[in-house]
């Protein structure tokens, strides 16, 4: 019985790690398309003013489709974008043909 439990635990761990590799793991990341100003400004490198600008841009232009769209916002450069990609992600809208 103990061997069956160990085998099941290993199989479960393998299945979970495989789903992470193939589906992408956004656990612990913030969805940019629903993030509030308060949530964004809590991220290292995002000031209150930048958080407001990100939400304003999303409100005026619709949801973000690609992280590189952040580069169109004053205050976001490639270095900050690389940093942000570790803590935020974009979940496309359900009606998006992305």
pLDDT value of residue 78 = 97
6-10: Cβ within 8 A, 24+ apart: none
R_g over Cα of the chain:
18
Strand partners, 89: 31
Q: What is the largest CA-CA distance in the chain?
A: 61
Backbone φ and ψ of 59, nearest 5°? -65, -40
Q: Which fold has domain 30-89?
A: DNA polymerase; domain 1 (1.10.150)
What's the rounded mean pLDDT across residues 33-57?
97
Run of H or E including 20: helix 2-23
The domains of the chain are located at 30-89
Q: What is the pTM of this model?
A: 0.69
What's the rounded mean pLDDT across residues 19-45?
81
pLDDT value of residue 92 = 73
Are 64 and 73 spatial neighbours (Cβ–Cβ below 8 Å)?
no
Backbone φ and ψ of 68, nearest 5°? -65, -15
Give the confidence band of 20 by pLDDT, cuts at 50, 70, 90. Answer: very low
Which has the higher per-residue pLDDT, 46 or 97? 46
pLDDT digits (tens, 9 = 90+) for 27-37: 889 999 999 99
The answer, yes or no, to whether residue 75 has pLDDT greater than 50, is yes
Backbone φ and ψ of 70, nearest 5°? -65, -25
Poorest-pLDDT segment among 5-9, 36-40, 56-60, 91-95: 5-9
Give the pair of three-digit tokens for residue 59.
């409100």
């Amino acid at each position: 019985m103990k061997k069956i439990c160990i085998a099941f635990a290993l199989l479960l761990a393998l299945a979970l790690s495989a789903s992470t590799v193939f589906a992408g793991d956004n656990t612990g990341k913030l969805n940019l398309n629903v993030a509030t100003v308060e949530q964004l400004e809590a991220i290292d490198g995002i000031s209150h003013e930048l958080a407001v600008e990100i939400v304003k841009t999303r409100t005026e232009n619709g949801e973000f489709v690609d992280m590189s769209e952040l580069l169109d916002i004053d205050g976001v450069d490639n270095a900050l974008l690389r940093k942000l990609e570790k803590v935020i992600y974009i979940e496309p809208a359900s009606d998006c043909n992305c």
